[in-house]
Amino acid sequence: MDPQKVLQVPLDDIVFEGRNQAYGAYFLRKIYNRHLFRALVVAGLLSLLAIAIPLLVSYINGLINSGKDEEVSVEINMENLDLPPEKEDTPPPPPPEEPPPMKATIRYIVPDPKKDEEVVDEEPPPPVEQLATADISNKTQEGNEEGASEGEIDVPEEAPPPVVEEEKPSAEIFVVVEQKPEFDGGEAGLLRYVAENVKYPAIARENSIEGKVVVKFVVDEQGNVSQANVVRGIGGGCDQEALRVVGTMSGKWKPGKQRGRPVKVWFTLPISFKLQ
């Protein structure tokens, strides 16, 4: 090869000068750069996908979860509200009527014949003059001759007290409430109770099963637990043990409240199983 053309000729032509260039090695070396470029492009795209897919999944999950717990806000235009109807002024009720004056009465009871030892000293009977001018009754009271006797007065009957209907508990089970259910002792008391009552299943211990069991249950208006179920389990008897511990929590919760009234609320509790 002419020495002046060495710098202008590709390296492959220099290496394979005077050799069989129809052989496969020469062809592979000619297309090597093109294959290398394609491989770098494909590897770069795969790396971007590996980074972008987890970010995209977490973003979608965040939108779904925020959509569940988000409270709907309603904007009210005060200009378009209908005014409440005006209340009619009703006259006050008339004052209660005063009872008429009573006639004077004298206590007089017909004597009951008894033995001397059974007689008790009582008030002596009134004289006959007083009995002629006053009404006879079982008690003595002052009055005037123009007053009314006891039997002539109409005593108004008292109205029965209004019947108060007890508010029936709501059958609706809330997911989001103004005041969430709280275990006795707070979050620290809940963690302590779970740690003291969970017993590691023998099957899970023998097979080195570890993980987190998520239990979902309802806390009712009295603080009792019901409808417990495993949302995510790990097997090996850990799911049944988590349900057993949750079942023993009845009566140990402060119920959730909505508008100041105790209601039923769904509660999710993760319980971890880890071998020491």
Q: What is the pTM of this model?
A: 0.41
CA distance 115 to 98: 47
Tens digit of each residue's pLDDT (9 = 90 or more) over 49-61: 999 999 888 888 8
The pLDDT assigned to 77 comes to 42
Judge whether 179 and 257 are in contact, CB under 8 Å. Answer: yes
Judge whether 226 and 217 are in contact, CB under 8 Å. Answer: yes
The pLDDT assigned to 160 comes to 72
pLDDT band at 72 (very low <50, low <70, confident <90, very high): very low
The pLDDT assigned to 136 comes to 62
Tens digit of each residue's pLDDT (9 = 90 or more) over 216-250: 999 999 999 999 999 999 999 999 999 999 999 98
- Say yes or no: domain 173-273 is CATH 3.30.2420.10: yes
The pLDDT assigned to 79 comes to 43
Rounded to whole angstroms, what are the CA distances from 23 to 26, 29, 79?
6, 11, 90
Q: Which has more confidence, 251 or 74?
A: 251
pLDDT band at 90 (very low <50, low <70, confident <90, very high): confident
Percent of the chain past pLDDT 90, that is, above it, reads 30
The answer on pLDDT for 116 being more than 80 is: no
pLDDT band at 266 (very low <50, low <70, confident <90, very high): very high
The pLDDT assigned to 46 comes to 93
DSSP symbol at 141:
B
pLDDT band at 167 (very low <50, low <70, confident <90, very high): low
Judge whether 226 and 206 are in contact, CB under 8 Å. Answer: no
pLDDT band at 18 (very low <50, low <70, confident <90, very high): low
Determine which of 53-57, 101-105, 128-132, 241-245 has the lowest per-residue pLDDT on average.
128-132
